[in-house]
Structure 1
Amino acid sequence: MENFRINISSTTSFTLTGFPELENMEHWLTAVLLMLYAISILGNTLILFIVKEEQSLHQPMYYFLFLLSVNDLGVSFSTLPTVLSVLCFNTPETAFDACLAQMFFIHFFSWTESGILLAMSFDRYVAICNPLRYSTVLTDARVAHMGMSIIIRSFCMVFPLPFLLKRLPFCKANILTHSYCLHPDLIRLPCGDTTINSMYGLFIVISAFGVDSVLILLSYVLILHSVLAIASREERLKTLNTCVSHVCAVLIFYVPMVSVSMVHRFWKQAPEHIHKFMSLVYLFVPPMLNPIIYSIKTKEIRRKIHKLVLGKL
Structure 2
Amino acid sequence: MKSSGWKDLKRFYSLETSQKFLYQQYEKRSIQDANQQAYKNCERFIYFLKHGHTFYEQAAIAPLELKPILLFYGMAQLLKACLLTVDPYYPSQTSVLAHGVTSRKRKKQHYRFSKDEVKIQRNGLCMHVLKHLFHLNGLEDERFTMIHLLSKIPEMSHILEFQKQPSTLVKVEKDNGMMIQDHIPLLYNMSAERFIEYFEFHTSWKLKQREAKKLAFDVSLEENPAFATHLHYDLEANQWYIPSTRDSFLGIPEIISHYLLMYNLSMIARYETEWWYELLSQYISDDYVMIERYMEIAEEKFPAYIMMLLEEKTKKTSSKWN
TM class, shorter-chain normalised? 0.3 to 0.5
Structure possessing the higher relative contact order (Cα contacts under 8 Å, 6 or more residues apart): 1
Q: Greater Rg, structure 1 or structure 2?
A: 1
Q: Which structure dedicates a bigger proportion of its chain to helix?
A: 1
Structure holding more strand per residue: 2
